[in-house]
Chains A and B, each alone.
Chain A
């Protein structure tokens, strides 16, 4: 029998028995960041491939979600800060070793980029749109000229953003559940899949949906593969990581994770999408909604469970 008792102090509200200082803001931000990264990556990709006309929803219209999602995500991040008046300190320094510094700077570039991208399509989206100032018209013409360059930048930054949502957690070796490098690719793929789900939901073109659905099924396959790898890694690691994995293999997060994230959020939508490819009539919003909700729950579960795990001594 081993028992540990805190004799003094440590009756800290919201901190003990676990130091779970991260609440809903972080998973919501990770979800919106991943979603934005997914949409931006595929918008950039099809732009670079010259498919602007065929994949109009991907390249043009779904991108209107991104500035909104990023601003909401940033707002959630801001709410999470406890010393909010000093948030600008993020931008007076660059810390190579801190993932959060990387993320802050990535967002500093990717958010304005998404606004510019959307602005160049305003006239197509709303007929008769008028910028009112000649300067903005000139800037718009300039941005339209460099769209392909912007698309390349967007793809690169989207990958950094997507990976960063995972690395943010995996950089903490004190929380064994997070401390695995597979979290970076896993969050990237999951973010791309939620981005695709949003685009598929919005798209009216059958051809476009077919292409995107095929990519999405492949991504879900990769995601399942990475999840299996995640648990193989935990179970082959040290005691603290085996205990972390137990939270999902019989522990308190088992049902939430396997039923809502893996079955309802990945396997069932992948099956529905496959059936759709074979000609069955399935409302598009069902698999899309399942993927989006699954992605959100996945991030809540990971952030919540990770804060319970710790080193034993």
Chain B
């Protein structure tokens, strides 16, 4: 089993519902966020191109944050999801430095926090909070090993990219282009 997410950059309108849904679902403290939206503007008028991306932790296959963690608080659970055990985290910040996507932040209570692919919801058979609320249904989530999952079908039919593949992290957050 390999959980992954695909973001359709052609359908995303940058409304930010995924951000708010995540903050509500996961009790993210005010001023912080586990997912965020980037608006990438390329060129200038009249030859201008805009790409909107809903970004979050890439749950990398070769995750630098897990490798550099001195206590093992950062670890990978079933389905390839990168998780942080709060009471094993010492807040040293090594994982924040190691992430090419800047997906982690220091929670005001001390430990490091990040997207969990809503693991607590997956265990109940639900999808992630961001996917559930997306008004343009531009987020696809599922098991890459299952050819009939939303994400596997989206990747099969479209061209896609990942962010900073040269970092060698083998990210599992795909952007449909």
A residues apposed to B, CB below 8 Å: 1-13, 15, 19, 21-22, 80-87, 89-90, 92-93, 95, 97-101, 104, 171-175, 238, 307, 310-313
List 26 interface pairs A-B (beta carbons < 8 Å), by A numbering.
A2-B41, A3-B40, A6-B38, A7-B14, A9-B36, A13-B31, A22-B97, A80-B92, A81-B91, A82-B91, A82-B112, A83-B111, A84-B110, A89-B89, A95-B71, A97-B67, A100-B68, A100-B70, A172-B97, A173-B98, A173-B167, A174-B98, A175-B97, A307-B97, A311-B164, A311-B167
Tell me how far the C-beta of A165 lies from the nearest C-beta in chain B, rounded to whole angstroms.
14
Contact A90 B100, beta carbon cutoff 8 Å: no
**0 or 1 for each of B58-95: is its CB under 8 Å from A? (1 = yes):** 00000010011111110000000000000111111110
Report Cα–Cα, A132/B148, bound state, in Å: 77
Residues on the B chain within 8 Å of A83, using CB = 89-91, 109-111
Report Cα–Cα, A9/B21, bound state, in Å: 12
Is B152 interfacial (CB-CB < 8 Å)? no
Contact A19 B70, beta carbon cutoff 8 Å: no
Which listed residue (B16, B69, B88, B163) contacts A86, Cβ 8 A? Answer: B88
Report Cα–Cα, A87/B35, bound state, in Å: 28
Residues on the A chain within 8 Å of B72, using CB = 93, 95
Contact A4 B33, beta carbon cutoff 8 Å: no
Report Cα–Cα, A86/B73, bound state, in Å: 11
Which listed residue (A8, A15, A313) contacts B106, Cβ 8 A? Answer: A15
Known: A5-B39, A7-B39, A10-B36. A81 touches B92 (CB 8 A): yes
Report Cα–Cα, A98/B64, bound state, in Å: 10
Shortest Cβ distance from B66 into A: residue? A97
Report Cα–Cα, A205/B79, bound state, in Å: 66
Report Cα–Cα, A9/B20, bound state, in Å: 9
Contact A172 B90, beta carbon cutoff 8 Å: no
Residues on the A chain within 8 Å of B32, using CB = 9, 12
Known: A172-B98, A173-B168. A87 touches B90 (CB 8 A): yes
Which listed residue (B31, B94, B99) contacts A11, Cβ 8 A? Answer: B31
B residues apposed to A, CB below 8 Å: 14, 16, 19, 31-33, 35-44, 52, 64, 67-73, 87-94, 96-100, 102, 105-106, 109-112, 163-164, 166-168
Report Cα–Cα, A174/B68, bound state, in Å: 12
Contact A8 B68, beta carbon cutoff 8 Å: no
Contact B33 A9, beta carbon cutoff 8 Å: yes
Residues on the A chain within 8 Å of B16, using CB = 7-9
Q: How many A-B residue pairs have CB under 8 A?
A: 152
Contact A104 B91, beta carbon cutoff 8 Å: no
Contact B166 A12, beta carbon cutoff 8 Å: no
Contact A93 B71, beta carbon cutoff 8 Å: yes
Which secondary structure dominates chain A's binding surface?
loop
Shortest Cβ distance from A2 into B: residue? B42
Report Cα–Cα, A57/B159, bound state, in Å: 68
Tell me how far the C-beta of B74 lies from the nearest C-beta in chain A, rounded to whole angstroms.
10
Known: A21-B96, A311-B100, A313-B164. A10 touches B68 (CB 8 A): no
Residues on the A chain within 8 Å of B99, using CB = 174
Contact A19 B102, beta carbon cutoff 8 Å: yes
Contact A82 B110, beta carbon cutoff 8 Å: yes
Contact B68 A92, beta carbon cutoff 8 Å: no
Contact B97 A174, beta carbon cutoff 8 Å: yes
Tell which of B42, B68, B110 has the most Cβ of chain A within 10 Å.
Answer: B68
Tell me how far the C-beta of A56 lies from the nearest C-beta in chain B, rounded to whole angstroms.
38
Report Cα–Cα, A3/B44, bound state, in Å: 10
Contact B93 A95, beta carbon cutoff 8 Å: no
Which listed residue (A1, A5, A19, A98) contacts B94, Cβ 8 A? Answer: A98
Residues on the A chain within 8 Å of B106, using CB = 15, 21, 82
Excluding A95-B70, A100-B92, 15 further A-B contacts by CB distance (< 8 Å) are A1-B44, A2-B40, A7-B16, A9-B37, A12-B33, A21-B93, A21-B96, A82-B93, A84-B110, A92-B71, A98-B67, A171-B98, A172-B94, A311-B167, A312-B164
